[in-house]
């Protein structure tokens, strides 16, 4: 069901953005942005960044007749956001530049704002336009998928999944080629971080970093990619799995290492994750068949409330160990393992060494059977 995982990524990828870690004194360039938001009922507007899964307010000002203006210093171009208190999940995103940036937007469609003045932002828009055909195809297939689900048409679902996978692979290949060829552009570290880093292993990411022109090495996204590589190295196949110690549903801490001596599947999931929930019946059957033969599942939930987590456990008949810090995408174990999309699985041998990743469904069953036959 890679299709459903990739759909999850579509919604999640928009939030996978980094923040500048340079100190104010190191920033040498100035940007200014001014604009007008039509139809807003808000009295205040925010300039924000997204740092380690958290929205950070950089500045705010009164919105007078829809007008606003911000300025700040920066070292290299990066993505920032204009947001309104009353508008959830949508904002105006733009790349900083050393020229004045002008924004025209409507409150009911902030993500469709017209942005001018930033040459870097203009370059990014050209890239976005070039991949929009893939996004439109994916959205259309998703609607077909929902209809096929409603009609309970397995044959159509299978065909749509294959069609989606083909579109996804084409988009991924196009994006890789773009990043590789435009290795001196300040937008390509961002594109690599946002669009590809969740799916690539550390050696692939490292190849892209080595290909970048030295001029972009100060980019905040370049630094974030370096950090991503280090995390992925620490959870690569053949490496001893890092410890996970989090509370179970009763508030009692459980350790991953307590299950040494068994083959353990770390299952990163959430009650709100459709593909995760659809995997659970198969996982329950597999667990019941092999739990007495040396197989264990260690669930790590990316839930925001304990109630939703416990409800899903009961509804899906899950009996294996479950832990969560109830921090949604900021789950500590998720950060340790570099999890950027769920469902995500990590299979450990009896010594706690990672032997496989992202096994699901029939692939997972076949692997467990081969280990415990």
Report the CATH number that the domain containing residue 275 is assigned in CATH: 3.40.30.10
SS3 percent helix, strand, coil of the chain, rounded to 5, is: 45, 25, 30
Last residue of a domain, one of 199, 234, 269: 234
pLDDT of residue 373: 81
131 and 195 part of one domain? yes
Q: Which residue has the higher pLDDT, 73 or 114?
A: 114
182 and 225 part of one domain? yes
- Of 6-10, 119-123, 223-227, 246-250, the one with minimum mean pLDDT is 6-10
Q: Which residue has the higher pLDDT, 291 or 20?
A: 291
Residue 318 contacts residue 299 (beta carbons within 8 Å): yes
Last residue of a domain, one of 184, 204, 234: 234
Q: Average pLDDT over the chain, rounded to whole?
A: 90
155 is a domain residue: yes
219 and 293 part of one domain? no
80 is a domain residue: no
Strand order in the sheet with 295-301: 322-323, 295-301, 263-269, 344-348, 354-357
- Per-residue pLDDT tens over the stretch 77-111: 999 999 999 998 899 999 998 889 999 999 999 99
218 and 258 part of one domain? no
172 and 261 part of one domain? no
226 and 255 part of one domain? no
Range of the domain at 151: 2-10+121-234
Q: Residue 289: phi, psi to the nearest 5?
A: -80, -30
301 is a domain residue: yes
351 and 223 part of one domain? no
282 and 327 part of one domain? yes
281 and 222 part of one domain? no
pLDDT tops 80 at residue 53? no
What spatial distance separates the first Cα and last Cα of the chain, rounded to whole Å?
Answer: 25
- Of 24-28, 36-40, 140-144, the one with minimum mean pLDDT is 24-28
pLDDT of residue 54: 77
112 is a domain residue: no
284 is a domain residue: yes
190 and 251 part of one domain? no
21 is a domain residue: no
353 and 259 part of one domain? yes
The number of distinct structural domains making up the chain is 2
212 and 325 part of one domain? no
Last residue of a domain, one of 208, 234, 260: 234
347 is a domain residue: yes
Task: Provide mean pLDDT across the span 291-308.
Answer: 97
How is residue 43 annotated by DSSP?
Answer: S
| pLDDT band per the 50, 70, 90 thresholds, residue 143 | very high
Query: Nearest-CA neighbor of 333 among 245, 228, 249, 273?
Result: 245
């Amino acid at each position: 069901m890679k299709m459903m995982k990739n759909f999850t990524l579509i919604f999640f990828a928009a939030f996978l953005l980094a923040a500048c870690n340079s100190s104010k004194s190191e920033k040498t360039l100035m940007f200014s942005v001014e604009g007008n938001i039509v139809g807003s009922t808000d009295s205040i507007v925010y300039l924000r960044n997204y740092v380690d899964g958290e929205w950070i307010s950089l500045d705010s000002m009164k919105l007078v007749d829809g007008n606003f203006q911000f300025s700040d210093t920066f070292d290299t171009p990066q993505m920032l956001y204009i947001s309104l208190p009353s508008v959830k999940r949508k904002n105006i995103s733009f790349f900083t530049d050393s020229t004045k940036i002008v924004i025209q937007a409507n409150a009911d469609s902030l993500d469709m704002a017209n942005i001018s003045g930033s040459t870097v932002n203009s370059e990014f828009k050209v890239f976005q336009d070039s991949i929009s055909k893939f996004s439109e195809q994916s959205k259309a297939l998703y609607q077909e998928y929902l209809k096929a689900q409603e009609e309970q048409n397995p044959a159509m679902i299978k065909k749509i999944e294959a069609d989606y996978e083909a579109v996804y692979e084409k988009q991924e290949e196009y994006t890789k080629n773009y990043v590789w060829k435009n290795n001196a552009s300040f937008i390509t570290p961002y594109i690599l971080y946002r669009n590809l880093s969740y799916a690539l292993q550390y050696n692939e990411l490292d190849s892209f970093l080595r290909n970048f022109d030295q001029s972009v090495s100060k980019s905040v996204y370049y630094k974030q990619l370096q950090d991503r590589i280090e995390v992925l190295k620490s959870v690569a196949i053949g490496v001893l799995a890092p410890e996970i110690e989090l509370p179970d549903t009763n508030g009692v801490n459980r350790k991953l290492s307590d299950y040494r001596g068994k083959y353990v599947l770390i299952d990163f999931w959430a009650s709100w994750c459709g593909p995760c929930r659809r995997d659970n019946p198969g996982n329950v059957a597999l667990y019941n068949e092999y739990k007495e033969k040396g197989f264990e599942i260690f669930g790590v939930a990316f839930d925001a409330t304990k109630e939703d987590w416990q409800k899903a456990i009961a509804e899906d008949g899950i009996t294996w160990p479950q832990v969560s810090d109830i921090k949604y995408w900021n789950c500590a174990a998720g950060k340790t393992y570099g999890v950027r999309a769920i469902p995500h699985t990590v299979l450990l041998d009896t010594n706690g060494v990672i032997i496989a990743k992202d096994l699901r469904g029939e692939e997972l069953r076949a692997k467990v059977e081969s280990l415990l036959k």
